[in-house]
Structure 1
Amino acid sequence: MDHHVPVNDPRLPGLRRRGFLAAAGGAAGLGALALAGCSGSRLSAGDASEDGRPRHGGRLRAAFAGGGAGETLDPHLANLFADVARAKALFDKLADYGPDLAARPRLAAAWQPNAGLDRWRVSLRKAAFHDGRPVTARDVLYSYRRIADPKKAFRAKASLEPIDLKASRAVDARTVEFVLKRPTAEFPNVLAAFGAYIVPEGARDFDRKPVGSGPFRFVSFTPGTSAIFRRNDAYWDGAPYLDELEFVVANEESARTNALLGGQVEYAHELNPATARAHEDQGQITIVRLRNSAMQAFAMKTDRPPFDDRRVREAFFLMADRKELVDGALSGAGEVGNDLFGKGYEYYAGGLPQRTPDLDRARHLLKRAGAEKLTVTLDTSPVASGFTEAAAIFRDQAAEAGVRVEVRTGSKDSYWTDILDAGTLCCYRSGAMPIESHISQRLLTDSSTNATHWRHKDFDALYRQAQSTRDDKDRAAVYARMQRRLYAEGGFLVWGFADWILGTARNVRGVEREAPANSLDWARFDKVWLA
């Protein structure tokens, strides 16, 4: 099934229904980055408690879709949302993503590049593992070298590729010098990479008694059923409010919803829009919408007819009624897109005109391209929510411009592995990642996952220029230039950004509402409490 395939597999670009997207990290400014808190604008769910202050105690039960008896607590193998939620409760990374998908310091207290941007010194904060040992530079290097093991399929392996781990070294107990293979202005992206958790040197057995530096300590784990963790009173970022945290596996959305409604759990992950509409503002449970969590698009192969003609691609941009797609395919649970990834994220080119349907212009472009009576096959699948609905809606929109779109529905099991690359036009989805990571992983000539076959040497050169640019504003200007090019002639028709929907009991407080899925404050249970 699709949610059992490793998400760092280069064939899987999308945020699958039960998966968790791997990426290459977040973005941050250069120079020494001082230690900062990363809580963000955390809002209470439900009515405020009498004094408005967090309360200590209790066990929160959180329901996630799971992976069956093969589940593991090895943080470097985390593929599912449930895996990652458990991993971030037990372990820490050097950095993680803020609401804008820029890197924020975690176990790293500061980072500093050299003039050439190919050596970075990372200073560690004072933190300890659950067994009392301090987190050291040796633990960091062991963790990264373990992830990079060519014999293993650890999820962050591709993200760590810029590092020369043989040349990198521990300067002292709390300083790591990373030697890079090339200038990398946004090296903090690597530190924040999905799955790049720090484990104790020599750690191998994670399912019997895992030891991390995270906010909760291990109590018990039954793969495919439940995991119980207890508060880490010595946590460097402050002890959690909860006494205990229990992860409960409930694979069906209806089972998670019913468990929440029946009081068997206090937190239910990944609810569908119909459930949200039925229960929002009804008083029994609280619906939390994490905005801009999943890009929704159609991917056009830019090297295959008819989409090797940029006029045809522009015509397709102008056929799409994005609001109708969001309302129909996402049941309104999202925002319209503008043919660019990362709405609301750092570097997003938000100043470009919002595209709206222009059928006359679309017909004119098709006529100039000699494609007046064009027929195109659109590949879709029930592999992701909204795919089949979006395909049907766009088929009818294209017909108004004189284009015949034939919808072909493929298997969930082979969509990401075979179908995505076989055709010329397909449904596509991606979870949150930095815009830099989206470009490096999907839009360069040598990108491992390039669904649109966008391969341009001058575009590659702009990316290298951005990564060699020390000044934040100058680098942002390069990214803006790249996005203007994609907006004009790229292969992603980005029609929307879907909400990620959670449900909580009315007495749950502290759930972050401004954090997209995949970011630091998503599923951050150390900041949640029970009123």
Structure 2
Amino acid sequence: MHKTRASAPVASRFPELRRRGFLAAAGGVAGVGALTLAGCTGGSASSEAAAEEDGKPRRGGRLRAAFAGGGAGETLDPHLSSLFSDVARAKALFDKLADYGPDLSAQPRLAASWESDAGLKRWTVTLREAEFHDGRPVTAEDVLYSYRRIADPEQAFRAKASLEPIDLEASRALDARTVEFVLKRPTAEFPNVLAAFGAYIVPEGPQDFDTKPVGSGPFRFISFAPGRSAVFARNDAYWEGAPHLDELEIVVANEESARINALLGGQVEYAHELNPTTARAHEGKGRIEIVRLRNSAMQAFVMKTDRPPFDDQRVREAFFLIADRRELVDGALSGAGEVGNDLFGKGYEYYAADLPQREQDLDRARALLKEAGAENLKVTLDTSPVASGFTEAATIFRDQAAEAGVTITVKTGSKDSYWKDILDSGTFASYRSGAMPIEAHISQRLLTDSTTNATKWQHEDFDALYRQAQSTQDKEERAAVYARMQRRLHAEGGFLIWGFGDWIIGTARTVRGVASKAPANSLDWARFDKVWLA
């Protein structure tokens, strides 16, 4: 058996932030707990809330966190989460059955345990005792309702593809706290489905998510102004223990300069997604703290393996050998990252760390291109300022390729359409990915029927290896299959993965409890129930 167990009012206006293009919610200066603006977000004055000299968490205060947002169309519907700001709000209000640990393995959350049958097609999930904000218990029927809502063919919910292995018609509630999931095929990594991006549990029945959202998360709803601000209050009945903060406010600042200026000016205490240059300018200077979440963003180029010139394995190998990965990390990421080895998920569960690190070898690259009849190869590299480091990396690689006799023309595309365009058009493009399990990377991007197969990697024998891994009960044996798949991708795949960028967060010096070993998209990233103000 495969088994796992686990142990008010809207926020105030900030005129200075609006002058920088930073929008906050309208309304009075008030909240569930005491609130002082302009960086003085002190905690409760009660003795039980006083800060301890030994560094123990302090209770009280409001933390204001700045994220890039999605404009007036934002919603608190957790099944529509797409941007990091959406996820931060969803994590405050709702829970999933599982979430990803630092190594991107699934960790129990609302699920207290899960257990499979011998065939890995029937999984029993036992819920922990938890309740929604309105006092109702979280039940098996709520779980099935949530998953069936996500799977609705008339809706475009993000987690729909992740839930595809589940036969939701056959799945059932065995009792109030036990769900039996029936799967369409053996799925050894089924806990990854429970942890999928956007797979939040909501109470059964309709609700107005934007005015009266009810979840089981660590914070309760106070107010929401789409594209501007959302305010939440501590949920004292939270199953994992009440947050330290009285209130959390997530405010929108789309420009990185607005986020860092707001942090430096004391108008927020947490600024998400800073660039490496900003971090280097302020790190260790005493005004703010810089937190680096390692291995959060895969940095790569994609080679379309179904079309010339990259339908020739020798050309793909030559491009692997052209890359000076250290120069790319230093130049495109300002050194804020680690070199890659053409494999996704460095440091994550199942990563093939035993494969030798690939180094630049221009002589071998030239020889391979000659063998392929591509000595004077000309290629267009599609890129865009849509992601930090893209255009810089494209220019650096263009110059590296010239030393091997390859002429690369860098074509800069629109931010708005880039991600859609590169999945189908062109032959060579800049690419980035956030954290996800290696199994999910394979299933979503490297199988014949994968919906986001940017490299057009389509091999039936590779698909068969994935099915073999998912049908393998023993974890060590399953890891051996994943290692075999990664060896093949390392030798002949279409992802030229040159680095893994840090995700950079800035905080006020008063902020404590921000996890530093949590890649973006993992459980402890943007986990404000564990944060406090010293």
TM-score (ref. length: structure 1): 0.91
Residues 379 and 420, structure 1, Cα contact 8 Å, conserved in 2? no
Q: Using the alignment, how far apart are the partners of 1:191 and 1:339 within structure 2?
A: 28
Residues 420 and 426, structure 1, Cα contact 8 Å, conserved in 2? no
Tell me the equivalent position of 1:514.
Answer: 517
Q: 1:240 aligns with which of 239, 243, 247?
A: 243
Tell me the equivalent position of 1:31.
Answer: 2
Shift of 1:50: 2.5
Tell me the equivalent position of 1:387.
Answer: 390
Q: Using the alignment, how far apart are the partners of 1:67 and 1:440 within structure 2?
A: 28
SS in structure 2 of the partner of residue 99 of structure 1: coil
Q: Using the alignment, how far apart are the partners of 1:257 and 1:528 within structure 2?
A: 19
Tell me the equivalent position of 2:20.
Answer: none
Tell me the equivalent position of 2:363.
Answer: 360
Tell me the equivalent position of 1:254.
Answer: 257
Counterpart of 2:6, as a letter, is L
- The structure with the larger Rg is 2
**Structure 1 residues not aligned, in runs of 5+:** 1-29, 37-47
Alpha-carbon displacement from aligned partner over 1:88-142 (angstroms, at most 9, x marks no partner): 0100000000000000000000000011100100000000001111000000000
Tell me the equivalent position of 2:197.
Answer: 194
- My pick for the range that moved more, 378-387 or 472-481, is 378-387
SS in structure 1 of the partner of residue 273 of structure 2: strand
- 1:227 paired to 2:233: no
- How many residues align? The count is 491
SS in structure 1 of the partner of residue 453 of structure 2: coil
Shift of 1:274: 1.0
Tell me the equivalent position of 2:461.
Answer: 458
Q: Using the alignment, how far apart are the partners of 1:379 and 1:63 within structure 2?
A: 31
Q: Using the alignment, how far apart are the partners of 1:32 and 1:297 within structure 2?
A: 36
- 1:426 paired to 2:429: yes
Shift of 1:369: 1.0
Alpha-carbon displacement from aligned partner over 1:415-449 (angstroms, at most 9, x marks no partner): 11124421111111111000000000110011111
SS in structure 2 of the partner of residue 422 of structure 1: coil
Shift of 1:230: 0.6
Q: Using the alignment, how far apart are the partners of 2:408 and 2:66 within structure 1?
A: 40
Q: Using the alignment, how far apart are the partners of 2:172 and 2:485 within structure 1?
A: 35
Q: Using the alignment, how far apart are the partners of 2:207 and 2:184 within structure 1?
A: 28
Residues 239 and 526, structure 1, Cα contact 8 Å, conserved in 2? yes
Q: 1:203 aligns with which of 195, 203, 206?
A: 206
TM-score (ref. length: structure 2): 0.91
Alignment of 1:14-29 (within 5 A): none
Runs of 4+ off more than 4 Å: none
Tell me the equivalent position of 1:321.
Answer: 324
Alpha-carbon displacement from aligned partner over 1:441-477 (angstroms, at most 9, x marks no partner): 1100111111111111100000000000000000000
Alignment of 1:58-207 (within 5 A): 58-207=61-210
Structure possessing the higher relative contact order (Cα contacts under 8 Å, 6 or more residues apart): 1
SS in structure 1 of the partner of residue 396 of structure 2: helix
Q: Using the alignment, how far apart are the partners of 1:414 and 1:285 within structure 2?
A: 35
- My pick for the range that moved more, 259-268 or 404-413, is 404-413
Q: 2:406 aligns with which of 400, 403, 406?
A: 403
- 1:440 paired to 2:443: yes
Counterpart of 2:142, as a letter, is D
Residues 75 and 87, structure 1, Cα contact 8 Å, conserved in 2? yes
Residues 108 and 124, structure 1, Cα contact 8 Å, conserved in 2? yes
Residues 410 and 419, structure 1, Cα contact 8 Å, conserved in 2? no
Tell me the equivalent position of 2:487.
Answer: 484
Q: 1:278 aligns with which of 278, 281, 301?
A: 281
Percent identity between matched residues is 83
SS in structure 1 of the partner of residue 162 of structure 2: helix
Counterpart of 2:92, as a letter, is A
- 1:288 paired to 2:291: yes
Shift of 1:223: 1.1
Tell me the equivalent position of 2:39.
Answer: none
Q: Using the alignment, how far apart are the partners of 1:219 and 1:416 within structure 2?
A: 35
Shift of 1:204: 2.8
**Structure 2 residues not aligned, in runs of 5+:** 8-50
Q: Using the alignment, how far apart are the partners of 2:311 and 2:218 within structure 1?
A: 51
* Alignment CA distance shift 1:230-1:321 (3 Å): same
SS in structure 1 of the partner of residue 3 of structure 2: coil
Residues 423 and 453, structure 2, Cα contact 8 Å, conserved in 1? no
Counterpart of 1:426, as a letter, is A
Counterpart of 1:246, as a letter, is E
Alpha-carbon displacement from aligned partner over 1:167-207 (angstroms, at most 9, x marks no partner): 10000000000010000001001100010000000033111
Shift of 1:32: 2.1
- 1:330 paired to 2:330: no
Residues 304 and 310, structure 2, Cα contact 8 Å, conserved in 1? yes
Residues 380 and 408, structure 1, Cα contact 8 Å, conserved in 2? yes
Residues 422 and 454, structure 2, Cα contact 8 Å, conserved in 1? no
Shift of 1:49: 6.7
Q: Using the alignment, how far apart are the partners of 1:305 and 1:73 within structure 2?
A: 45
SS in structure 1 of the partner of residue 293 of structure 2: strand
C-alpha root-mean-square deviation of aligned residues, in Å? 1.0
SS in structure 2 of the partner of residue 115 of structure 1: coil
Shift of 1:373: 1.1
Counterpart of 2:424, as a letter, is D
Alignment of 1:470-481 (within 5 A): 470-481=473-484
Counterpart of 2:5, as a letter, is A
Shift of 1:251: 1.1
Counterpart of 2:359, as a letter, is T
Tell me the equivalent position of 1:22.
Answer: none
Counterpart of 2:434, as a letter, is G
SS in structure 2 of the partner of residue 349 of structure 1: coil
Residues 306 and 312, structure 1, Cα contact 8 Å, conserved in 2? yes
Q: Using the alignment, how far apart are the partners of 2:214 and 2:417 within structure 1?
A: 37
Q: Using the alignment, how far apart are the partners of 1:452 and 1:347 within structure 2?
A: 21
Tell me the equivalent position of 2:48.
Answer: none
Shift of 1:33: 1.0
Q: Using the alignment, how far apart are the partners of 1:126 and 1:498 within structure 2?
A: 38
Alpha-carbon displacement from aligned partner over 1:4-48 (angstroms, at most 9, x marks no partner): xxxxxxxxxxxxxxxxxxxxxxxxxx7221123xxxxxxxxxxx9
